[in-house]
Structure 1
């Protein structure tokens, strides 16, 4: 199976069969290649990369590359016009790392949503197409800036203009999210009462401080699981969870797989 969906600003591919592309370049498009099960061979910058499930590669425009997919693998490829990348980088331009970790389960789910809109609904409707393009760009802006430093910078930027002390509390959370944190400590940094801190935090970031803390821990857990150098129990303890069972519950609720299944790239 091979699906290709073209819009004015991007091309979306899902490849579930043997596929080989010879060396070529895209003049204006960035290409993000991510195996969602199995692995594939990507050649870029004159090097070969065996991409495992969830290991993304960002290919810049005007650089030769090639892709080789076996019939035992599944790969999603997002080709986005340079203008789209410029749009989501407008507020905080950055040089993207060529190697990224992208949740294969979430990417597969998002791809189905995008494909459903563009293939099964009215693909001739400009508004539907433009909204889907925006959703793809928003997804990329989030996951390609997914490390803790960039997440902290984006979050702090969202509050620093309105509340410098809240920004300090948020920065403190990013520095100490693997430790035991209390609301009173964060509220004191923000110069607010416990009640007003929780209410202000949720109004700004759309979630409670505890929910945000868990999101930081889960993002770091996914990064550590991808490195394969620690057990699930070791990771859970190092991230401040009270027990491995609590880590399992939070991880499954947030990601949709157990930590072991995430590590192997399998869906529940």
Structure 2
């Protein structure tokens, strides 16, 4: 394994940088950061020392490093290791903590190693999606970002979880439906939907799920596919035009989603 590192700034999420690296011979001397680091070792094992102790970070673990925490990092195996890192500015983490928790805007997050294979795997998948697109503003990504950061900060005892918040009111639910029908061909964001309801983003996610029984992303995806069926049945539009008309700007994504929902490609409907 040769050493290589690649960083990607997420354009619509200021303060977030994704780092993807493979290390074999390179080692981190003792150092610190000015931002928060969430680290995932997906292959191999990294040996890390911080807070007077040495830990082994491997698949199934999530490493947390706050600003100012002195630590190092070196491969613990001859084959090296693969590392994925979310680098969050204090301002970005503070805004997330404000969304998902009941407490200080900037959480007290100590250096820690969490052994949670499910959380690590879900964070790794989100990392791959964000790194591939370079974007973080889609409804699906925004929702998953808040959900996983809530899990992470709760596990690290850095926030007090929000109390159950009930359901959307009939008026709020009507506003959401009206907005989605009116903007179906456009990008619909979590910020926009939460703003319509005059709720915080995470509060909206929880109340929407309580009201509908689906996440906003899953519900909106189904709405788009159902409307696509209507257009395919009643119009002379091409499949590409139908896909764009219901908010899919990638026809292959539309084809996959349609087949998964209905068991047949759009061309066979």
Q: Could you state the TM-score of these two structures normalised by the residue count of structure 1?
A: 0.48
Q: TM-score, normalised by structure 2?
A: 0.48
| Higher relative helix content | 1
Higher gyration radius (CA): 2
